[in-house]
Structure 1
Amino acid sequence: MLADFPFLSILTLAPLVGAVAVACIPRSRGALAKTVALGWSLAVLVLSIVMWIAYQVGGDRLQFRESYAWIPTWDARFTFAADGIALVMLMLIAVLVPVVILASWHDAEESNRSVPIYFALLLALECTMIGVFAAADVFLFYVFFEVMLVPMYFIIGSYGGPRRQYAAVKFFLYSLVGGLFMLAAVIGLWVVGGHTFDWQTLIQADIDTTTARWLFLGFFIAFAVKAPFFPFHTWLPDAGGAAPAGAAALLVGVLDKVGTFGILRYCLPLFPEASRWFAPTALILSVIGIIYAALLAVGQNDLKRLVSYTSIAHFGFIGIGIFAFTTQAGTGSVLYMVNHGLATGLLFLVVGMFVARRGSALVSDFGGAGKLLPLLAGVMFFAGLASLALPGTAPFVSEFLVLIGTFTVHKAYAVIATAGIILAAGYVLWMVQRTTQGTLNPVLAEMPSMRKDISLREKVVVAPLILLLLLLGFYPKPVTDVINPAVQATMQDVGTTDPGPTAVVNGKVAP
């Protein structure tokens, strides 16, 4: 049966094998390296689709479970399993990586660095991303959580923009420090949890209140840095601004989701009382992040930094959805993780196409570019509208679920967060208007590269993301059906229930 097939271990190892194969290709054979990397990522996509089909909605909470001996002394094992939340993130990775590889076709050549190594690093990054979402052993999760930093560090530091070294070191140090907090919490969890790292065993462990709160804090800080939540966010604009566009799409589209996924998978089920106790603080930080990041985005002149700040605001919405502790808001948060990866990934890739033509990421260096690049400008406009959650696009569904699910229990937070939607319209439309509309910048008219509208390769890059954003905007049911049972199980772990319907009887609100 497909349910017994070792999907997760093969999906984790396959990109690593591909990375080694691509890295061994001579530097002079760059075209071959790209082709092999693309083919390998497409094979992972096909296998992921088969796994999606084999997943049984309404079946066991964790499916495709595999467990292999690793460090018997610590009871650490190579245990893989996926619930609905992990499954949709694995599919997001499988979709984005081949798209990013195709979008990054000329990135390494333009940096005069090794082409095979660049694409090998992308495949190695895919391996660690799959591993971190597939792990069902806390220590294994931590290992993937930390190892994930390595390929992204080298991608930013070796293939990024002028400030790449500063951005790479800042990204690495922030994530490493956050990881040290989690390491301390992982060790503490092993001690008080019965000397095991198995997730299913640990959620049944009886941990005293004070200890659980400290352990929660260790995990939460690591995940808040990775997400990033305010005030742990300052590394993202630098890393997103310096990284190649394709790598930046993976950074904000997938890597950052490890933080919010970690909160859902580890903080809430393992420390339910602590989660409820910290919820007001997390909600306040999330709301501040929405407004603060949106205001900073309005003032950005660098396109890539602007998109990075929009992501910080979006993670605020995900945060309030998680800590509202309702099924609607929780499902909206997970769906937001997927839709944000598609929308912001598309926006980053399109921005990269503009930057490659202009040789600059500054908004002030554009102006009227849509007169020369009408199709590419149209794609940017669509990506911007999707990013601000226009009805009919996928992010609208997730944002609506988050806000309505939060409003039922925390009206003030939902109302304040709604103001972020207005600010989002401001910074997105301002970006599009200043970049593609208005009077044509005379410098652009003299640049041959600015007269090359969207190419066939670029159409292949953006087409699947546009299609998914529209499809999930009008029919999200296939994804929400997968997410809902996992979110409901998580809410049960936390010990919360959805508020019942209310009605007004004789002028009074009654349940």
Structure 2
Amino acid sequence: MSNYPLLSLAIWIPIVAGLLVLATGGDRNAPLARLLALLGSIAAFVVTIPLWTGFDHAFVGMQFVELESWIPRFNINYHLGVDGISMLFVVLNAFITIIVVAAGWEVIQEKVGQYMAAFLIMSGLMNGIFTALDGILFYVFFEASLIPLYLIIGVWGGPNRVYAALKFFLYTLMGSLLFLVAQMYLYFQSGGSFSILEWHKLPLELGPQIWIFLAFLIAFAVKVPMWPVHTWLPDAHVEAPTGGSIVLAAIGLKLGAYGFLRFSLPIAPDASHELSTFVIALSLIAVVYIGFVALIQADMKKLVAYSSIAHMGFVTLGFFMFSALGIEGALVQMISHGFVSGAMFFCIGVMYDRVHSRQIADYGGVVNTMPKFAALFMLFSMANAGLPATSGFVGEFMIILGAVKLNFWVAFAAATSLILGAAYTLWMYKRVIFGDVANEHVAELSDINAREFVILLVLAACTLWMGVYPQPFTDVMHASVNDLLHHVAISKIQ
């Protein structure tokens, strides 16, 4: 493990780069703003590479730990660390930031500096969420990350952007207030400590655990989002610019799911077992019902947004089966969803930039004018539907395998999502891409340029790599997942 403060660098390099981009003066120096943003995002990604290469797969516990006193009076510390559960998300977040900066390179022409800066600052704040080991530090990053995304949707979004941004902000903020109340309770129960790792060791009775679990559930369910608090997501995706949709799907939705593993299961293990049937039921509703909702969408972005809710339903299902297959499958699904959903939203953005419509009915025969794009879009559509040899298959297969051990009917209900996923994704692809050229707008389309081709090619490589050879990802998380399951199982026995 490195002696360098890699986690602090992963947090503060993109934030400082974002502030430097803001200092360029916006549109007066747009080329400089773009260049600084790209260099800042690449530098932030480079410092995360040693996290992967230097990570000890066999070590159980936090690695690359940093600990400094922040507010001594209340025992609040600047405490950072990663384990096999969180490290991959730090790397994914830094990687997606480069994709987002490149995606907005030519598309964003107004307030360029502010746009790029918002993504860089948000990237740093999200890395703070994945690495924070102090409850208040986690909460500060958790809430602060709302602000850049709120601005991205509200300033650069579509016609109803203000409504979508407000709805997103209010939903997530209200959920977080209960999270803060639960933290205050844990602070006093632990004798005045905000250390998340110390909270994991608290011998709480079942009654308090249930209340804490419910507070966490509301906060994290909104972020995932789980049914029925999912309604903000389709609005946010439809109105957000392409970059906003990519980062919201690839990273934003993972924050709530990560919260379940860092807070709900280890702090309230008995309540997690007690209420697991309830959470599994909500997850299956998201998987099946939302799949049918996606099937009837006329807007491509809204269809992929509902698809994300269904895929994240798989994730929460995997968590609450309390098996290594389930949790590792859910983590793989989260990483895969970052690649695939990001690529899907980018593909829709590519078409929207040319035709200025997201309606499926406004397309048809795109393969005739954009053959390279059609080929890459097909790969991501297949991955979204869970085709074997793509990353979309691996996580879902592991979760269904784990569900079979738990209950056949739970596995059967979960497996219907593979059918529904194929139905809504491939039906959309068929109507948009295949057939004769539908109208003059499609006839005038130009195929993807070099920048768009490189972005899609990189995402395609990641999707295939994880689908064909997922072992590098599962090896990282294996020891941490087993340790978490051991902790939850021992608590249940006691």
Residue in 1 aligned with 2:111?
114
Q: Which amino acid aligns with 2:411?
A: A
Q: Which structure 1 segments of 5+ residues have no match?
A: 498-511
Gaps of 5+ in 2: none
The secondary structure found in structure 2 opposite 1:66 is strand
CA RMSD of aligned residues (A): 1.2
Distance 2:291 2:440 in 1: 30
Q: Which of 196, 200, 213 lines up with 1:199 in the alignment? A: 196
2:306: which partner in 1? 309
Among candidates 121, 129, 134, match of residue 132 of structure 1 = 129
Q: TM-score, normalised by structure 1?
A: 0.94
* In structure 2, C-alpha distance between the alignment counterparts of 1:293 and 1:61, rounded to whole Å: 37
1:461-497 CA deviation, whole Å, 9 max, x = no partner?
A: 1111110111111111111000111111111121179
SS of residue matched to 2:297? coil
How many residues are matched? 490
Cα-to-partner distance string for 1:423-478 (whole Å, 9 max, x where unaligned) = 1110001110111112311232554xx1x201100111111111011111111111
Stretches (4+) displaced over 6 A: none
Matched, 1:459 2:453: yes
Select between 434-443 and 305-314 the one with higher mean Cα deviation.
434-443
Aligned-residue offset at 1:394:
1.1
Alpha-carbon distance between aligned partners in 2 of 1:213 and 1:180, rounded to the nearest angstrom: 17
Counterpart pick for 1:368 among 342, 349, 365? 365
Distance of 2:409 and 2:71 partners within structure 1 = 48
Match of 1:233 in 2: 230
1:329 aligns to 2:326 (yes or no)? yes
2:11 matches 1:17:
no
Provide Cα deviations, 1:285-338, integer angstroms capped at 9, x if missing partner.
000001111111111111111110000000111111000000011100011110
Aligned to 2:78: 78
> Would you say the 8 A contact 2:365–2:442 is kept in 1?
no
**1:508 matched residue in structure 2:** none
Structure 1 residue corresponding to 2:488, chosen from 476, 484, 494: 494
Q: Percent identity?
A: 36
Deviations 1:359-405 (A, max 9, x none): 11111111111111111111111111011110010121111111101
- Is the Cα contact below 8 Å between 1:283 and 1:319 reproduced in 2? yes
- 1:191 Cα offset (Å): 1.7
Q: Partner amino acid for 1:12?
A: I
Residues 446 and 404 of structure 1: CA distance in aligned 2, closer, same or farther (over 3 Å): closer
Q: Match for residue 6 of structure 1?
A: 5
1:37 corresponds in structure 2 to 37
Looking at structure 2, the residues matched to 193 and 427 of structure 1 have their Cα atoms a distance apart, in angstroms, of: 49
Q: 1:214 to 1:25 in 2, by over 3 A?
A: same
Report what 1:419 is aligned to.
416
Q: 1:369 to 1:496 in 2, by over 3 A?
A: farther
Confirm or deny: 8 A CA contact 1:252 1:344 kept in the other structure: yes
Q: Deviation of residue 106 (structure 1)?
A: 2.6
For 1:313 and 1:430, locate their aligned partners in 2 and report how far apart those are by CA, in whole Å: 17
Aligned partner letter, 2:93: I
Distance in 2 between residues matched to 1:83 and 1:93, nearest whole Å = 16
Secondary structure, in 3 states, of the residue corresponding to 2:24? Answer: coil
Other-structure match for 1:26: 25
**Structure 2 length normalisation: TM-score?**
0.97
Residues in 2 aligned to 1:347 and 1:106: alpha-carbon distance in whole angstroms: 19
Measured in 2, the distance between the counterparts of 1:173 and 1:200 equals 30
Structural mapping, 1:53-452, within 5 Å: 53-109=53-109, 113-445=110-442, 447=444, 450=445, 452=446
The correspondence for 2:470, drawn from 471, 476, 481, is 476
Q: Quick one: which amino acid aligns to residue 35 of structure 1?
A: L
Cα gap change, 1:224 to 1:469, in 2 (>3 Å):
same
User: What is the match of residue 501 of structure 1?
Assistant: none
